[in-house]
Amino acid sequence: MVNKYTVDDTDIYNEDALMRAATLSIPSKKQRTIAKSLDRRFMDLGVFNSIVSSNNVINEVYLDLTPGQIIEFCDEPTKYGDYLNKNSMFLNMGALNVFFINLRLQPTESIKAEHIVFLNNILTKGPNDIYVMPTVHFDGVDRYTQIELYSNFVTKMINYKNSRAPGSLNLGIMIPPYYREKEVKGLYKLYSKENAEPTFVSVDFKGSNIEDKKRMKVVDTITSHYAAEGIEDYFMYGLNLRSFKQGLNNPVSDEMLIVRSGLNAVGAPHRVPTKVHGGSKISQTDQLGVVFGRDDYRFHYLTEPEYMERFLDWSSDRGYRFDIENRLTQDGPKIKDAVKRYNLVTENAEFFDISTAIRKNDKDAIKDMLGKGVDPTPTENGLNPNQSTLDSF
């Protein structure tokens, strides 16, 4: 059930980049390191246990809802239970469960009292551990109208929460994608009736990343806000973040770059559900996806022998049974799933080492890490598409 959270024990490296290791806690769980969140799409029990056994990493439960679904769930609660089970895994096994809700409204729809009650109920009851304000997408209206509508929504959510649980829990703030840096201050003011400044802040990247200057200016505004308030202990979460840029040969990991601007955790991208079409059968090794390399922070096809060997060694240790050489077509879907799990484990292992270096103020190790993911070849306009620092911002 939802609890008060705290953020403390923050260490900061702020020379060549802003990198922060903080501890996010509720009474029975702690995330002590920078991490990529758990996600039902990239987990099995072995992967879950290997990550959570030493660190209560956030288990991101992403719920994409419409007003019609909410009314249906209110009328038939068992349908909500089925929906939650479909969109989550391992909720009672030690991870920090955080519900990130995206409410989508069509132009003819509006947020009603029953929606506010339902959202508060699922955020304050059941397996959710931290109350993070939902994000809302208002289709068919301009950005400024969305901000006005979202402000009304946040106010209603806080008022209802306080009428049911006054002072007994603190909120996490959400920065929807239609907010720019100049509007962040006004959003924080909506939470001023709370007993304490919200120190869990989630930035919805809407599938973009470090190349999105508007999102990065929002991140900079958040760090400036807490600096002005004299607050070092805060936890910044990158929601709906792109993993890497498609179409590049050996693309750099966007998650590894984004933590150099002060984020403490990152989540995988989410897309609005669309009609699923059958894909082509896997017949080539390069159709199995790409694996993350800790030595260069890039993603590599399994056609590269060194990375194939690393992946197969890891897979064998985890007890996966597939035959790439002789059963590629049959085992292809299982191998693609294992690739995603390999990346989740490997990226978290690297984030653990980054966090350790920050905690120890190991400048040599950090500078070595900052040198990874840098493309030495300039583009025609002189800019580097895979630059690892934030100089261009």
Question: How many structural domains comprise the chain?
Answer: 2
Between the CA of residue 62 and those of 39, 160, 335, what are the distances in Å? 9, 22, 25
Q: Which positions ≥6 away from 52 have C-beta within 8 Å?
A: 38, 93, 94, 95
**Domain residue limits at 17:** 6-266
Asked if residue 375 belongs to a domain, the reply is no
Instruction: Indicate whether 164 and 76 sit together in one domain.
Output: yes
Instruction: Indicate whether 105 and 234 sit together in one domain.
Output: yes
Spell out the per-residue pLDDT of the chain, length 393, in tens. 788 999 999 999 999 999 999 999 999 999 999 999 999 988 999 999 999 988 899 999 999 999 999 999 999 999 999 999 999 999 999 999 999 999 999 988 999 999 999 999 999 988 999 999 999 999 999 999 999 999 999 999 999 998 887 667 899 999 999 999 999 999 999 998 776 789 999 999 988 888 889 999 999 999 999 999 999 999 999 999 988 888 788 999 999 999 999 999 999 998 754 444 455 688 888 888 899 999 999 999 999 999 999 999 999 998 888 888 878 888 788 899 999 999 999 999 999 999 999 999 999 999 999 999 876 544 433 334 444 333 332
Instruction: Indicate whether 300 and 238 sit together in one domain.
Output: no
Instruction: Indicate whether 221 and 335 sit together in one domain.
Output: no
Give the containing element (helix H, strand E) for 31. strand 29-31
Total Cβ atoms within 10 A of residue 75: 8
Q: What is the CATH number of the domain that holds 181?
A: 3.20.20
Instruction: Give pTM, 2 decimals.
Output: 0.91
Query: Per DSSP, what are the bridge partners of residue 7?
Result: 24
State the pLDDT at residue 128: 96
Asked if residue 377 belongs to a domain, the reply is no
* Residue that is last in its domain, among 219, 236, 266: 266
Asked if residue 200 belongs to a domain, the reply is yes
Say which residue the tokens 């990065």 belong to.
Answer: 216
Instruction: Indicate whether 115 and 241 sit together in one domain.
Output: yes
The C-alpha angle 276, 279, 284, rounded to 5 degrees, equals 155
Each residue of 263-306: pLDDT tens digit? 999 999 987 544 444 556 888 888 888 999 999 999 999 999 99
Each residue of 64-92: pLDDT tens digit? 999 999 999 999 999 999 999 999 999 99
* Angstrom distance (rounded) from CA 362 to CA 34: 16
Sheet holding 35-36, edge to edge: 35-36, 265-266, 235-239, 200-204, 171-175, 131-132
Between the CA of residue 343 and those of 41, 106, 256, 275, 300, what are the distances in Å? 12, 36, 12, 27, 11
State the pLDDT at residue 393: 26
State the pLDDT at residue 288: 87
Instruction: Indicate whether 362 and 259 sit together in one domain.
Output: no
Instruction: Indicate whether 73 and 142 sit together in one domain.
Output: yes
Instruction: Indicate whether 68 and 157 sit together in one domain.
Output: yes
Instruction: Indicate whether 214 and 71 sit together in one domain.
Output: yes
**For residue 33, which amino acid is it?**
T
Instruction: Indicate whether 322 and 256 sit together in one domain.
Output: no
State the pLDDT at residue 36: 96
